[in-house]
Amino acid sequence: MNTSGQQQASSTDNTTAPLPLTSDLTDNNNSERLKQHQTQRLTQHVNGLTSTTTTSSSTTSPNTSSSNGYEASSSNGNTSHIRNRLTSSSTQTVLTGSSYPSNNGNINSSRIFTNSQKEILRLIGQHLQSIGLNKTVDILIHESGCVLEHEQASNFRELVMSGKWTEALVALEKLKQYIEERDGIQQMKYLILEQKYFELIEDNRAMDALQCLRNEIQGLKIRIERTHELTTFLMFNSIKDMYKASNWSGKGFASRQNLMEKLQKYLPPDIMLPPKRLESLLSQAVDLQQERCTYHVKPGKLTLDDVSLLKDHACTKQTFPCVTIQTLTEHSDEVWFCKFSPDGTKLATGSKDGYLHIYDVDMQTYKMKLRKQFEGHSFGIGCIAWCPFSRYIIACGTDECNEIWIWDVEQEEQRSRMNHSSDDSLTCAAWLPCGQRFVCGGSRGQFYYCDIEGNVIDSWEGVRLQCLHVTNDGVILAADTQKRISSYKFDSLTDQQIIHEDHPIMSFTVSKDGRLALLNIATQGVHIWDLHDKQLVRKYQGVTQGHYVNHATFGGPNEEFIASGSEDSKVYLWHRRQERPIMVFSGHTRTVNCVSWHPTLPLLFASASDDATIRIWSTPEHQMKTGWYL
């Protein structure tokens, strides 16, 4: 074979002859021929890439090569110029996709991203850089053709974080056109100079700090009171005292980062992204999922570390209080009322048998232990009111009862007993926030304002009360026999109607924030009202309600749940935003009169029934801890 002839033909023809699959070891020219073919193919591939880059230069940045799936770099291999473009953010440049060499060496057409895709790329780039994946960021920039930050904003941030205050102020002037607030540029200068001032003090450069204050900060002629306050920080002998007085964390990354976050508020997001924007959006999504989770009762706010971002957050029924963990059987007759103390350490129950029982609550196992029995209530106990400090408790009777008892739970003795008139009917009471005074009344027209000794301070004639409540800010609310709830002021003897129902209001309670009222309505069931807007929000379905008094309750970490007893011997539970019950609990054998949710343990509530028992409800996990099984 004429090897030299083949070489000459290949030098003028772009088609490369195929290499032999095997080599002839006896042919001394085969090795040389193989090397020549390899060199020829490599040369053609390089030439193809070079021509491709030249062809696509009109659609890519001069400093960015076409994407090949690896890190973008300049001709000398330096990638820092790309990384520096991501310190903050920008959308000033159209985002284009990478061009990938096809099998024949040609370049695909540029891809145009939608606005949402551009923003997602920016968020991803910002997050990647925040966790130190700078090379990955470079690849993202190179492959997408995306300029992820405004160059001037990036320079400004770098100068601020490095403490180059004079240069930072110059860079700020270049961003002036993007600042929308009228005095925004002045406010930003003030913040920068304030940081400079504090750092000079920390560096023991008192004279320089004074010059900064006089010549630069005062020259802005804004925030005069704050400027006067800054003067006092020069007088401290101890830097630690200055830190505490100024609420400043000291020179370094933390304080400068805090400064940067304040400065970013003046710049639009297309110039500089807010810090940790992707994490912020994800946190908002988690918050919404937590809010919409039907069975979520975990206290506190979920964080990104508490959930999986790969699926929506959803709790199961097994994490919800859905089983009886204990049954209290110390009463001998119908139990009409139960109520946890405000601090959650005790449970009080009142019965037709005339006894008031106080139970201690084990805050770990949720088990109840009888602490004290108070006797002498000849008409039974139909209502209980704990004082705000969980020490005193008021016990009221039925319509035939003309007196109330005030018990000292800590001393386990009667504090006082009120009997104002033999014609009275004192069936309800509520403490004022001070814990030393209360209001009480009944259906015969008595409405009293009293001290803790049972002395009547003031009275309101002609109001036939069904139920009382005092909000945390001291507003007295009362439901009367005219199907209304009104607010009352004893100092001016004025009242204002808030709610009017079409059927009698048997009882009501109010949310901790004083915004919502939960009503048990005769023959209707459970309604919830907005007290501020004076609007009926929702009617809950399922519960059987006649003309007996029944007491519903708010529950859960943020009072998202509502529970009520029913005349069909069941406990009904709703999510506040859903009219249909999410759970119905069986166990009692007669009418359930009252439900009380624990104020600090969202996985615990109690129900009282005409079957003479109180059931304690929690999760299967706590059922195992108490050793109680159905």
DSSP line for 297-348: --SS---GGGS-TTS-----GGGS--EEEEEE---SS-EEEEEE-TTSSEEE
Q: How far does CA 549 lie from the centroid of its chain?
A: 37
> Would you mind telling me the total number of residues written for the chain in this entry?
630
What's the rounded Cα separation, in Å, for the pair 452 and 417? 9
At residue 440, φ and ψ (nearest 5 deg) are -150, 165
* Residue 69 pLDDT: 35
What's the rounded Cα separation, in Å, for the pair 145 and 63? 11
* Residue 627 pLDDT: 63
Q: What is the pLDDT of residues 526-561, one digit of tens each?
A: 999 999 999 999 999 999 988 889 999 999 988 999
Angle in degrees, 0-180, between the axes of helices 151-161 and 253-264, rounded to the nearest 10: 150
Lowest mean pLDDT among 26-40, 331-345, 526-540, 606-620: 26-40
* Residue 107 pLDDT: 34
* Residue 186 pLDDT: 94
* Residue 468 pLDDT: 96
Percentage of the chain exceeding pLDDT 90: 58
The highest-confidence range among 178-182, 287-291, 456-460, 491-495, by mean pLDDT, is 456-460
Query: What Cα–Cα distance (Å) separates residue 500 from each residue in 503, 505, 554?
Result: 9, 9, 21
Burial class (CB in 10 A: 0-12, 13-18, 19+), 575: buried
Q: What is the pLDDT of residues 473-513, one digit of tens each?
A: 899 999 999 999 999 999 888 999 999 999 999 999 999 99
Closest by Cα among 548, 478, 557, 480 to 510: 478
Query: Over 90: is that where the pLDDT of 11 sits?
Result: no
What's the rounded Cα separation, in Å, for the pair 464 and 482? 8
Percentage of the chain exceeding pLDDT 70: 82
Residues 460, 447: contact at Cβ < 8 Å?
yes
- The H-or-E segment that residue 292 falls in is helix 277-292
* Residue 554 pLDDT: 97
Q: What is the mean pLDDT of the chain?
A: 83
What's the rounded Cα separation, in Å, for the pair 548 and 566? 10
Query: Over 50: is that where the pLDDT of 580 sits?
Result: yes
Residues 608, 349: contact at Cβ < 8 Å?
yes
**Which carries the bigger pLDDT value, residue 624 or residue 273?**
273
Residues 150, 89: contact at Cβ < 8 Å?
yes
**Which carries the bigger pLDDT value, residue 441 or residue 81?**
441
pLDDT-derived band of residue 316, with 50, 70 and 90 as boundaries? Answer: confident
**Which carries the bigger pLDDT value, residue 629 or residue 164?**
164
CA atoms within 13 A on the CB side of 34: 11
Residues 579, 280: contact at Cβ < 8 Å?
no
* Residue 27 pLDDT: 44
Residue type, 432: L
Q: What is the pLDDT of residues 42-86, one digit of tens each?
A: 445 434 433 433 333 334 343 433 333 333 333 334 434 433 443
Beta bridge partners of 574: 562
Overall average pLDDT of the 217-235 stretch: 93
Query: What Cα–Cα distance (Å) separates residue 428 from each residue in 45, 477, 515?
Result: 93, 12, 22
CA atoms within 13 A on the CB side of 154: 17
Q: What 3-state class would DSSP assign to 455?
A: coil
* Residue 151 pLDDT: 87
**Which carries the bigger pLDDT value, residue 41 or residue 46?**
41
Residues 480, 496: contact at Cβ < 8 Å?
no
Lowest mean pLDDT among 304-318, 461-475, 497-511: 304-318
Specify the residue for token string 């007893």.
Answer: 565
Lowest mean pLDDT among 48-57, 303-312, 510-519: 48-57
CATH 3.40.1260.10 fits 317-628, yes or no: no
**Which carries the bigger pLDDT value, residue 41 or residue 95?**
41
What's the rounded Cα separation, in Å, for the pair 112 and 302? 37
- The H-or-E segment that residue 616 falls in is strand 614-618
Query: Over 60: is that where the pLDDT of 224 sits?
Result: yes
The DSSP string of 121-169 is HHHHHHHHHHTT-HHHHHHHHHHHT---S-HHHHHHHHHHHTT-HHHHH
What's the rounded Cα separation, in Å, for the pair 232 and 236? 8
* Residue 276 pLDDT: 87
Q: What is the pLDDT of residues 243-299, one digit of tens each?
A: 999 999 999 999 998 999 899 889 998 888 888 899 999 999 999 998 888 888 887
Closest by Cα among 573, 565, 605, 618 to 589: 565
- Single pTM value for the model: 0.67
Region class of 217: left (phi > 0), else alpha (psi between -120 and 50), else beta: alpha
What's the rounded Cα separation, in Å, for the pair 605 and 607? 7
Query: Over 50: is that where the pLDDT of 15 sits?
Result: no
The DSSP string of 199-265 is HHHHTT-HHHHHHIIIIIIGGG---HHHHHHHHHGGG-S-HHHHHHHHT---TTHHHHHHHHHHHHT
**Which carries the bigger pLDDT value, residue 29 or residue 90?**
29
Closest by Cα among 220, 214, 236 to 188: 220
**Angle made by CA atoms 79, 81, 85, in degrees to the nearest 5:** 120
Residues 483, 501: contact at Cβ < 8 Å?
yes
What's the rounded Cα separation, in Å, for the pair 396 and 311? 51
Overall average pLDDT of the 417-429 stretch: 87
Query: Over 70: is that where the pLDDT of 409 sits?
Result: yes
* Residue 98 pLDDT: 33
